[in-house]
Amino acid sequence: MSEIRQDLTTNEWVIFASERAKRPHDFAKQAKEMPPDFSENCPFCPGNEDRTPPEVLAYRSGGKANDSSWWVRVIPNKFAALNPSGTIERKIEDGFFRKMDGVGHHEVLIESPRHSLYIPYMEDHQVEEIILALRERYRILRQDPTVRVIVIFKNHGSAAGTSLEHPHCQIVATPIVPQSLRRRLAVATRYYDDNGGCIYCDMMEMERKNGVRVIEDTDEFIVLHPFASRSPFETWILPTRHSASFARIEIEEAKALGKVLRRTLAGIFNILGNPDFNLVIHTAPIKDEEEDYFHWYMRLIPRVTTQAGFEIGSGIFINTALPEETAASIREAEGLAPA
């Protein structure tokens, strides 16, 4: 029989469709051919720095700004969705519709000079440096008084919405708090008021006790496939220390996250064969970074299924694989002990 589960952090429902159930390995695809290490036409490859806007941050030893001696580089997005001019004033059109300027920031973090160096193949310290660079840019962008929320994400592969092969993340600083975040905050606040604690902390505790959906449980981070995962192999990486904002990650935690993120992606690549995926960081609005009730986390969504009319019409997702089974398949492939 199918089962409907509720995501307690959003109150959204997910249908687990037993008639359509697939085994975890059914989602594996022929791994795509690896790209070359260098691509002459790629604006993110070293030597092509003049094809991007000037950098706003780079990690290099010696060398000078915008030369090719960097190993992590952050630039404004040439095709920015938001730009740092305008105001946050709401305007009413025709006495009815509401709009505002597209004010904000949109940056690209180039993860490595090597065109083909996906995170699973990096050294741990390289992933750590990506995380520290994201933190650095977050901390700069949050000072702009028009910014309300900073959204950090990564698109890998065309089904995940990118046309650029060269490994990169994106940072968008928005002048509004998105409704979906407002709802997460409202649900978490209500839980906090009712129970006196953070819903994410309590959820981690339950998952740890139960164990079946946990991939890894380290001192700093827990990796799990959530109870009401929206799609097969959806993975959450949550800091074990309560913290509402990614901005407050400490150096030692960034180091640990580098390791855990690399291993998590390696596990997914191992089973699914370099799948297209999105990675997003859910973090509090800037004014709520110190709240007791919210908890930041990373969410990984391999794009192995397509959102169809039912999802668009209802907001209910249909998942064809149980998180208990996908988690077990990852643990098995990684030789991790069952929790």
Judged by CB under 8 A, the chain residues 81 through 120 that form the site for its own copies are 81-83, 85-86, 93-102
Query: How near is the Cβ of 306 to its own copies at its closest, in Å?
Result: 4
> Nearest 5°: phi and psi at 60?
-150, 160
Rule CB under 8 A: is residue 279 a binding residue for its own copies? yes
Of 253, 259, 251, nearest to 241 by C-alpha is 253
Site map for its own copies, 48-87, x if CB under 8 A?
Answer: ------------------------------xxxxxx-xx-
Select the residue interacting with its own copies from 130, 133, 181, 260 (CB under 8 A).
181
**DSSP bridge partners of 141:** none
Rule CB under 8 A: is residue 321 a binding residue for its own copies? no
> Nearest 5°: phi and psi at 153?
-155, 170
Select the residue interacting with its own copies from 140, 176, 201, 333 (CB under 8 A).
176
**Cβ closest to its own copies, residue 46 vs residue 231:** 231
Q: Whole-angstrom Cα distance, residue 335 to residue 323?
A: 18
Q: Which of residues 248-277 bind its own copies (CB under 8 A)?
A: none
Rule CB under 8 A: is residue 195 a binding residue for its own copies? no
Q: Whole-angstrom Cα distance, residue 302 to residue 193?
A: 34
Segment near its own copies (CB under 8 A); pick from 1-9, 119-127, 257-265, 324-332: 1-9
CA 256 to mean position of chain CA atoms = 16
Q: Which of residues 217-236 bind its own copies (CB under 8 A)?
A: 227-228
Instruction: Please check whether residue 238 is in contact with residue 204, taking contact to mean a CB–CB distance below 8 angstroms.
Output: yes
CA 183 to mean position of chain CA atoms = 18
Select the residue interacting with its own copies from 299, 322, 327, 339 (CB under 8 A).
299
**Cβ closest to its own copies, residue 206 vs residue 251:** 206
Residue identified by tokens 């290099």 is 60
Rule CB under 8 A: is residue 13 a binding residue for its own copies? yes
Q: Whole-angstrom Cα distance, residue 168 to residue 114?
A: 11
Select the residue interacting with its own copies from 175, 239, 258, 267 (CB under 8 A).
175
Select the residue interacting with its own copies from 224, 301, 322, 336 (CB under 8 A).
301
Q: Which of residues 16-55 bind its own copies (CB under 8 A)?
A: 16-20
The token duo for 249 is 């990650």
Q: Give Cβ neighbours of residue 210 (< 8 Å, ≥ 6 apart).
A: none
Rule CB under 8 A: is residue 186 a binding residue for its own copies? no
**Cβ closest to its own copies, residue 30 vs residue 179:** 179
Q: Hey, which residues are catalytic here?
A: 168
Segment near its own copies (CB under 8 A); pick from 42-50, 52-60, 112-120, 148-156: 148-156
CA 331 to mean position of chain CA atoms = 21
> In the sheet that 277-282 helps form, which strands lie side by side, from edge to edge?
57-60, 70-76, 105-110, 168-174, 149-156, 277-282, 297-302, 235-239, 221-224, 214-217
Of 104, 76, 219, nearest to 173 by C-alpha is 104
Query: How near is the Cβ of 299 to its own copies at its closest, in Å?
Result: 8
Query: How near is the Cβ of 170 to its own copies at its closest, in Å?
Result: 7
Query: How near is the Cβ of 254 to its own copies at its closest, in Å?
Result: 19
**Cβ density class 18-29: b for 16+ within 10 Å, e for less:** eeeeeebeebee
